[in-house]
Structure 1
Amino acid sequence: MHFVDVVVMTAYFIALIVVGIIGARRAKTSEDYIVAGRSLGFTMYLACLAAVILGGASTIGTARLGYEFGLSGFWLVAMLGLGILAIGLFLTKKISNLKVLTISEMLHDRFGAQTGLVSAVVAAIYAMMVSVTQVIGMGTILNVLLGWDLTLSMITGGGIVLFYTMLGGMWSVTMTDIVQFVVMTVGIFFIMLPMSLSKAGGWSSLEAGLPEAHFDFTSIGAGTIFQYFLLFCLGMVVAQDIWQRVFTAKTDKVARVGTIGAGLYSFAYALAVSVIGMCALIVVPNLGDTQTAFASMAIETLPAGILGFVLASVVSALMSTASGTLLASSTLIVNDIIKRQFMKEMNDKMFLFVSRVTTFMIGFITIIFALWIQDVLVALDVAYAVLSGAVFFPVIAGFFWKRATTRAAFYSITLSTIVILSGLAVKGITSTDPILYGLLTSAVVLVAVTYMTSEQKQNTSVIETDENRTGKII
C-alpha cells in the first residue's frame, strides 16, 4: 500500500473511535445502551441493519466464492437477505410488539426460565462466533494490505471495535454503522465493482476468460445452496443481533419497510461482490489463498488514495457486524443469565456497568478464538449451524403454535444442540448433515413432547375433576 492509503485507513479508524465516543455520551440508560432508546427512523434503521448483515463472510467470503465458483457465490449472502426479507414480511410487527431486549427473553416469557436460559447460552455462542468471523476478516485484510503479522492485525481490528462498542453500546454501534454503511456502499458499488470490471477487460473478457460454470448460478452445487438456506436464511430469522436491531426502530412501519429494504440491499451486495471475485480470477489467477481475493484485487486495481478508501469500506463491513454481534452476545449474557440467575435486583446503573464489563470480556474471548480458528467461513458455519438447528423451531412455535409447551421447547433446544455439536465433531464442521439432524431433532422433540405433556395435563385435569365429583357425591 502507498503511504496515502495508510493515512486514509488510519484517519478512518480514528474517526470511528471519535464517533463511538460521541455515541457513548448518549448511552445514559440500559435501554439506550442495548437498543438505542428504540428511537431510530427509517434511514438510520435501514443503514444500521444492512451494515450488521453484511460483514466479513459477506465481503471476503463472497469474493472468495466468486473467485472459485463464479456467480453462484451469490448464494451465501442471498440467503442472508432472504432471511431478512422473511422477518420484514412476516415477523417485524410481532417482534416489535414484544417489548423485550433479547430473543431469549421472549422464549423465557413464552416457555419459562429453563428454556430462556438454554436459549441464551446457544444464542450468545452464535453471536460471539459471528464476531470471531469479523475479527478474522479484519486480520486478513490488514495482513494483506499492510504486511502486518496476522495476529497483530486481528488484535488491532478487534480492539478498535471492542473499544467503541464497550463504551457506547447500541448508540455507538448505530452512529458508527451509519458511517460504515455509506463508506461500504460507495466503496463496493461505485468504485470497486466498476474498476474491477475495467481492470479485467469488461464483461466480455470475463465470458472469454472464465469457465462456463462461472456463469451458472447453480455451479456451487444444490447441496451447498441448501446448506446456505439452512444456515443463513433460517439463522437470520432467529439471530439476536438482527432482533436487537429491529427493537431499535421507532415504529412498526419503520421496522417492516426498513427490514425489507435491507434484505433487497443484501441481494445487490451479493451479486456485486461475486462479480468482483470473478474479476480477481482474471487479474490475479494464481492466488495461494483465495480468502485474499478481494484484498489482492483491490491492490492490483485501485490507485493510491482510492485503495485506502475501498479497503476502509471492507473493514467497515467487518466492523459493523462485529460490533453488532459483540453487543448481542453481551446483552444475552447480562440480561438473560447474569440478571435473571445471579443479580435479580440489579438497578439500571449497575446494568450499564455489568454490560460494559461483559462486553469487554466477550470481546477479549472473541479475539482469542479468531487467532485460533483463522478461517472466516469455518467460523461462520459453526455459528449458524448451532443457531439454525437448535433455536429456529422453538421461536417459530412461540409465535405461531399456542399449544407448544414449556417442557417441549426446553428439550427441543437442549437435545438438538447436543445433536448438532456431536455431528460437527464426527462429520466435520463443513458437513450439512449435523444441521439437518439438529433441525429434525428440534422439530420431532418439540411436537412429540408437546403432545405428551398436553395429554398428561388433560389426564391430570380429568382425574382432578373425577375426584371433585366423587367428593361432591360423598
Structure 2
Amino acid sequence: MAINVPGIVVVVIFYIVILAIGVYAGRRTKQTKSADEIFLANRQMGFLVSLFSLTATNVGGAYVNGTAEIVASSGIVWAQAPIGYCIGLFIGGWFYGPKMRRAGYVTMYDPFQEKYGAKTGAIMCIPEFIGDIFWTAAILSALGSTTSIIMDLDQTTSIVVSACIAVIYTFLGGLRSVAYTDVVQLAFIGIGLVIAFPFALRHSAVDLDDLGSKWVGQVPVNNIANYLDLYGLLIMGGIPWQPFYQRVLACRTPEIARNSLMISAVFCLLFAVPPAVIGVAGAAADWNQTSYPNEVPLAQDQLPFILPLVLQYMCPLPVSVIGLAAISAAAMSSADSTTLSTASIFTNNWYKGLFRTKASDTELIWVLRVTVVVAGALGTVLAITSTTVYGPYIMSGDLMYVILFPQLTCVLFVKISNAYGGLVGFFVSLILRLLCGAYLLHVPPVIKLPLYSEEEGQLFPFRTCIMALSFLAIVLVSLLTNTAFKRGWVAEKYDVLNSFSRRDVTTRLQDLNRKDVIRQNAALIANSKSDTNVL
C-alpha cells in the first residue's frame, strides 16, 4: 500500500495546530514563576474548560480503539469501560472531587501524606506511577496502529512523533497548555468519529442481518461473576486517578468541580457510541467485498485494529483521514494528561514531600518539566512494544481498584484510618493481586480460586474480593493500633510511623502550606465573577 499523502498532510496540520495552541498557553504560563500555575493553572479553571478537559482525558485512544475492538470481538454487552467509567465519574463527582477541592490539595496524594506521613504517603503513589505509564502506553499504541494502517507509516515513527508533540507543550505550559489543547482535541474527536461511523454502517459490505444478535454478545453463566468483577473494577477503579483530580483541584470552586465531573460522565458515554457502531460495522462486514488485502475473515490478532481498518477500507479517503485526526486527538488528549499526572505526583509528593520540603517554585517547575520528559519517554518505549489495546487499559484500572480505591476512601472518609492500617492494606492487596496472577506482567497464578479455568484464567470476582479485604485490613489494623497506642498497651517509642507520638516535620509543613492555599482559594472564590469563565 502506498503512503497516504492526504492523511499525512491532515495529521501534520493537526499537530501544528495543537503544538501552536500548547506553545501559546505555555507562553502565558512563563509569565509567572508560580508552581501552582503549572500544576493547577492557578486554580482558575472554569466550568467549560474543566468539562472539556475531563472528557478529553477519559476519551483517549485506548478508549475509542478499545471500545471498537471489544464490540467487534465480543459484542456490545462486553463494552463495559464506557458505562463503568461513566458511573465512576458520577460517584467521584458527588463524593470525592468536591471534598478534595474544598481541602485545597495539590495532588490526589496530599491527603495520604497529611494523614499517614510523608514516607507512607509516598508509597501510595507507586500504583499511580505504574498505572499512568500503562495507560500512556496503551494510548500511544492505539495511535500507532491506526496511523500505520491508514497511512502506511512506520508505527514506531508515529508513536515517537505524537509523544514528542505532547511532551513539548506539556513541558512548556503544564496544566494550562494541556487544558487548552484538550478543548481543541475534543472537537476533533467528536467531528471525526461522528462523520466516519455513518459511512462505515452504510458500506455495501456490511450486512447487519447476517450478524444477527451477535453484535449484542452474551455473558456465559460461568462468566457472570467475572463480568460483575470487571464492572466493579471499571466503576471504582476509575475514581482514584490523578489526571481527573488535577482538573478537579484546578477548578475555581467545589461546585464547578462537581458539575464538570458529573456532566463529563454523560459526555464520555456519548463519545463511546461512534466507535461502538464502527465495531459493529466491522464485525458485520464481508471483508471480501472490500480492498482489504490480508486474511479474510479477520484473524483474532487483527481485531485490536478494527477501528483503523474500518476507517481505511470502508470509508472514503477524506473521511478516513478525518477519522485519523480524531484518533490522533484522542491519543494526545490522554497522553499529555497522564504524563503531567506522573510528573506532578513525583514533584509534589516525592521530591518536595520527601527530600526538598523548602524547594522554591522555580526548582519545582524544573523538576516537573524534567519528569514530564522522563515519563513521556517511558510511555513511548512501552507503547512501541505493546501488542494489545484493551489489555493495558484494563490493567491500569486493575491497579487502581484493588490497591488505591480502598486507600483513598479510607483516608477521606474513615477517621480512624492511620499509616499502619494503610501500609498493611497496601501490601495485602498487592500480594494477593500478584498471587492471583497477572497476564500482562507474565505472572502465573499461584492461587487458583473457585471457577478457575486454564483457558480463561480467574473467573471468580477476585479483584472485588481483594479490594474488600484491603479495606477490611486498613480499618481493623487502624482500629487495633489506635487502641493499642492511645491506651498505652504499646509504648510511644514504638510508634515508628509517628502516627500517635508526633507528626513528622514534612507533614506539618504540608499542613501549613495547605492552609495557605485554602485561604487563597477563599479569596479567589469571593472574587469569582462567573462559573463559565474559561481560565
Whether these two folds match at TM > 0.5 is: yes
Map of 1:302 onto structure 2: 315
Corresponding position: 1:143 with 2:143: no
- Greater displacement, 411-420 / 84-93: 411-420
Map of 1:472 onto structure 2: none
Letter in 2 for 1:256: R
Map of 2:376 onto structure 1: 363
Map of 1:193 onto structure 2: 197
Corresponding position: 1:451 with 2:464: no
Task: Indicate the structure with greater helix content.
Answer: 1
Aligned partner of 1:333 among 346, 360, 366: 346
Note the C-alpha offset of 1:41: 1.5
Note the C-alpha offset of 1:461: 7.9
Query: Distance between the aligned counterparts of 2:380 and 2:256, measured in 1?
Result: 34
Give unpaired runs (5+ residues) of structure 1.
465-474
Corresponding position: 1:178 with 2:183: yes
Secondary structure of the structure 1 residue equivalent to 2:415: coil
Letter in 1 for 2:58: I
Counterpart contact for 1:74–1:270, Cα < 8 Å: no
Corresponding position: 1:417 with 2:435: no
Query: Distance between the aligned counterparts of 1:187 and 1:387, measured in 2?
Result: 31
Query: Distance between the aligned counterparts of 1:218 and 1:22, measured in 2?
Result: 49
- Greater displacement, 123-132 / 60-69: 123-132
Secondary structure of the structure 2 residue equivalent to 1:278: helix
Map of 2:118 onto structure 1: 113
Query: Distance between the aligned counterparts of 1:36 and 1:430, measured in 2?
Result: 45
Letter in 2 for 1:197: L
Note the C-alpha offset of 1:380: 2.0
Aligned partner of 2:360 among 334, 337, 347: 347
Counterpart contact for 1:134–1:318, Cα < 8 Å: yes
Taking a change above 3 Å as real, the CA distance of residues 157 and 170 of structure 1, as seen in their structure-2 partners, is same
Q: Deviations over 1:377-417 (max 9, x none)?
A: 22223322222111111211122211222210122123322
Corresponding position: 1:166 with 2:166: no
Query: Distance between the aligned counterparts of 1:112 and 1:178, measured in 2?
Result: 37
Aligned partner of 2:74 among 65, 69, 76: 69
Query: Distance between the aligned counterparts of 1:304 and 1:295, measured in 2?
Result: 12
Corresponding position: 1:460 with 2:463: no
Q: Deviations over 1:310-342 (max 9, x none)?
A: 211111111111110111011111111111222
**Normalization by structure 1: what TM-score?**
0.91
Query: Distance between the aligned counterparts of 1:166 and 1:434, measured in 2?
Result: 40
Aligned partner of 1:124 among 124, 129, 135: 129
Query: Distance between the aligned counterparts of 1:167 and 1:217, measured in 2?
Result: 48
Corresponding position: 1:91 with 2:96: yes
Q: Deviations over 1:159-178 (max 9, x none)?
A: 22222222211111111100
- Counterparts of residues 183-332 of structure 1 (less than 5 Å): 183-189=188-194, 191-199=195-203, 205-206=207-208, 208-216=209-217, 218=219, 222-283=224-285, 285=287, 286-288=297-299, 289-332=302-345
Counterpart contact for 1:80–1:236, Cα < 8 Å: yes
Letter in 1 for 2:476: A
Note the C-alpha offset of 1:6: 2.1
Counterpart contact for 2:200–2:314, Cα < 8 Å: yes
Q: Deviations over 1:423-450 (max 9, x none)?
A: 3222399756663453144123112202
Query: Distance between the aligned counterparts of 1:369 and 1:350, measured in 2?
Result: 29
Note the C-alpha offset of 1:217: 6.9
Query: Distance between the aligned counterparts of 2:167 and 2:62, measured in 1?
Result: 19
Query: Distance between the aligned counterparts of 1:160 and 1:462, measured in 2?
Result: 56
Map of 2:8 onto structure 1: 6
Q: Deviations over 1:32-91 (max 9, x none)?
A: 211122112221111100000111221111100111122224312211111111111222
- Greater displacement, 452-461 / 328-337: 452-461
Counterpart contact for 2:5–2:151, Cα < 8 Å: no
- Counterparts of residues 36-75 of structure 1 (less than 5 Å): 36-75=41-80
Give unpaired runs (5+ residues) of structure 2.
288-296, 447-455, 493-535
**Normalization by structure 2: what TM-score?**
0.81
Query: Distance between the aligned counterparts of 2:472 and 2:26, measured in 1?
Result: 45
Letter in 2 for 1:147: D
Note the C-alpha offset of 1:197: 2.0
Note the C-alpha offset of 1:194: 2.1
Identity %: 21
Query: Distance between the aligned counterparts of 1:256 and 1:4, measured in 2?
Result: 42
Q: Deviations over 1:187-235 (max 9, x none)?
A: 223x122222222688xx42x1214232257579534532432332112
Taking a change above 3 Å as real, the CA distance of residues 209 and 85 of structure 1, as seen in their structure-2 partners, is same
Query: Distance between the aligned counterparts of 1:306 and 1:414, measured in 2?
Result: 50
Counterpart contact for 2:240–2:408, Cα < 8 Å: yes
Aligned partner of 2:85 among 73, 80, 85: 80
